[in-house]
């Protein structure tokens, strides 16, 4: 595996143990908003350096450089590789076939077509890109992965226009050593997948697609089904375009380098992503979203990372536990994550970890969670976007859960859920907010109308899930002013900026 190019270092390994804590009232005013100096327990419990990044661009400037491969090529340079049964034919000396294994040993562009009962191996020690053009190629292995990149400077998989391609691995691998491949499409080199064709990947033994360096998806229609993780890019996983569908038993999209500075990030810049996962749908040390569409139909936790920044995008999240969870990337240290929690406990009561931050600058975000809707064991800042949270119905969690300062300076937030662990934003937030607990639980389909002192309607929502609390913020709310919140005609007077009695808020530092 060749060394990645580094820019400035962002962070070392994450090792903080963060507990879901007890309740308080409103957010503390003593800490400042995201990106400024904060004092907290993180100084002694985390090895992560605090980043000032509050936008995706800021975060990327500190991360390792993304190496996106070029999917374009000169047709005159293409080497034809015809797959048939357990062998392949080609005029190139760089292509050999033996006992079901087709090996490519030099940089260049190779068009693979036909059906292979076996494996394609890329083992090119020389510099240069190995470009695999899949043009109606079906590769099925009964002993290992379908494609295994053992060595290359970088690899680009191009899905030919109009082509349908399939990669399927064995249900049990002959080689299970530490150096063995662990996915139907496996690469030790930087990997880019693009083009305009389609690719179906079936991971029967482990993962679907694995990049042990960086992984970029720049196009194509890609469908992954796996018994473990769907798509992994160790140093980074970038989706810039294409349609990606994942059905995984474990995590969906994941970047899992928690040891190297500036690595381990998932970046979604464009395209369309649909995920059904039994664990975390999108997971990285950082999760950065600047565009595209993310639809998580099912998950344990939909998005999880130590730093989550959303600048734009169309996002819908469904989770059995937290919708968005900002927590330590060290799984062994993480203690937050049991749906429903323990009676009387939840996030937001313990001191905040400076290495953990949630920033939402834009986009349309809809969260359906059985655990916390937006949960940060550190800090949270909302500067823009249209955010709707349908939070938990049990009192062990809340629609909002922030341990440190929870600042709102822009955007629109509507969060509903249970009232037992209710969190209100910081009282010194630049944008006004109202928060109230209901005397009884309102049923799904109830209409919430917010009016000002003159009777002018500020907002109206039909809430699609049972709820016993409401938190709302927009540019139309003036801190200190009185508003009327009506739930199916039952009115409640609320003062903007006042935490509800019995409510909770981040403790701050």
500 band by pLDDT with thresholds 50, 70 and 90: confident
**pLDDT tens by residue, 277-302:** 999 999 999 999 999 999 999 999 99
**What's the predicted TM-score (pTM) here?**
0.89
pLDDT surpasses 60 at 7: no
Segment 475-492 mean pLDDT: 97
Return the biggest CA–CA distance within the chain.
82
Residue 10: pLDDT over 80: no
Of residues 45 and 174, more confidently modeled: 174
Measured in degrees and rounded to the nearest 5, phi and psi for residue 229 equal: -75, 155
Tell me the sheet residues that pair with 346.
Answer: none
Chain segment 115-152, per-residue pLDDT in tens: 999 999 999 999 999 999 999 999 999 999 999 999 99
% of the chain beyond a pLDDT of 70: 84
Say how many C-beta atoms besides its own lie within 10 A of residue 113's C-beta: 20
Q: What is the tens place of the pLDDT at every residue in 406-427?
A: 999 999 999 999 999 999 999 9
Q: For residue 501, what pLDDT band results from cuts at 50, 70 and 90?
A: low
d(CA 385, CA 393): 25
The predicted-structure confidence for 230-274, as pLDDT tens digits, reads as follows 999 999 999 999 999 999 999 999 999 999 999 999 999 999 999
Q: Is the pLDDT of residue 28 over 60?
A: no
Residue 163 is predicted with a pLDDT of 98
Beta strands in 204-256 (DSSP E): 207-211, 214-217, 221-226, 231-233, 236-239, 243-248, 253-254
pLDDT in the model for residue 52: 80
Beta-bridge mates of residue 114: 83, 137
Token representation of residue 198: 């389609």
Handedness of CA 25, 29, 33, 38 (dihedral sign): negative
CA-CA distances (angstroms) from residue 33 to 43, 299, 303, 344, 430?
18, 30, 22, 28, 10
In order of 313, 315, 412, 507, the CA distances from 385 in angstroms are 9, 11, 6, 25
Pairing of strands 243-248, 301-305: unpaired
57 has a pLDDT exceeding 50: yes
């Amino acid at each position: 595996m060749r060394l990645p190019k580094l820019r400035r270092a962002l962070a070392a390994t994450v090792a903080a143990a963060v507990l879901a804590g007890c309740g308080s009232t409103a957010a503390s005013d003593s800490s400042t908003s995201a990106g400024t100096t904060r004092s907290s327990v993180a100084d002694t419990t985390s090895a992560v350096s605090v980043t000032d990044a509050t936008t995706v661009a800021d975060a990327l400037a500190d991360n390792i450089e993304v190496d996106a491969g070029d999917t374009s090529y000169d047709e005159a340079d293409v080497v034809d590789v015809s797959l048939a049964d357990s062998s392949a034919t080609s005029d190139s000396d760089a292509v050999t076939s033996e006992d079901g294994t087709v090996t490519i040993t030099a940089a260049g562009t190779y068009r693979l077509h036909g059906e292979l009962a076996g494996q394609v191996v890329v083992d090119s020690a020389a510099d240069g890109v190995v470009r695999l053009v899949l043009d109606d190629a079906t590769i099925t292995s009964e002993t290992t992965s379908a494609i295994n990149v053992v060595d290359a400077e970088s690899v680009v998989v191009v899905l030919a226009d109009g082509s349908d391609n399939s990669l399927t691995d064995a249900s049990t691998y002959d080689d299970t050593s530490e150096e063995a491949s662990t996915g139907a499409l496996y690469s030790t080199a930087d990997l880019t997948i693009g083009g305009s064709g389609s690719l179906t990947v079936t991971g029967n033994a482990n993962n679907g697609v694995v990049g042990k360096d960086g992984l970029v998806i720049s196009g194509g229609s890609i469908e992954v089904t796996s018994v473990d993780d769907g798509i992994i890019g160790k140093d980074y996983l970038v989706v810039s375009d294409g349609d990606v569908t994942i059905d995984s038993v474990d995590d969906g999209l994941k970047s899992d380098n928690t040891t190297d500075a500036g690595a381990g990030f998932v970046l979604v810049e464009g395209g369309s992503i649909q995920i059904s996962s039994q664990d975390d749908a999108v997971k990285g040390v950082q999760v950065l979203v600047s565009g595209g569409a993310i639809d998580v139909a099912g998950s344990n936790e939909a998005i999880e990372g130590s730093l989550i920044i959303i600048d734009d995008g169309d996002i819908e999240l469904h989770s059995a536990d937290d919708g968005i969870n900002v927590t330590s990337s060290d799984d062994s240290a993480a203690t937050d994550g049991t749906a429903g929690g323990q009676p009387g406990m939840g996030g937001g009561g313990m001191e905040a970890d400076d290495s953990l931050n949630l920033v939402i600058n834009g986009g349309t975000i809809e969260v359906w969670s059985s655990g916390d809707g937006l949960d940060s064991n550190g800090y949270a800042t909302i500067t823009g976007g249209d955010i709707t949270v349908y939070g938990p119905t049990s009192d062990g969690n809340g629609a909002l859960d922030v341990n440190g300062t929870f600042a709102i300076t822009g955007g629109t937030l509507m969060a509903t859920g249970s009232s037992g662990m209710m969190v209100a934003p910081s009282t010194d937030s630049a944008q006004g907010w109202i928060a109230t607990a209901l005397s009884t639980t309102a049923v799904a389909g109830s209409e919430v109308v917010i009016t000002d002192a003159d009777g002018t309607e500020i907002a109206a929502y039909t809430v699609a899930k049972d709820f016993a609390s409401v938190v709302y913020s927009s540019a139309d709310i003036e801190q200190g002013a009185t508003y009327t919140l009506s739930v199916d005609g039952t009115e409640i007077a609320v003062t903007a900026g006042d935490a509800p009695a019995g409510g909770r808020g981040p403790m701050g530092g």
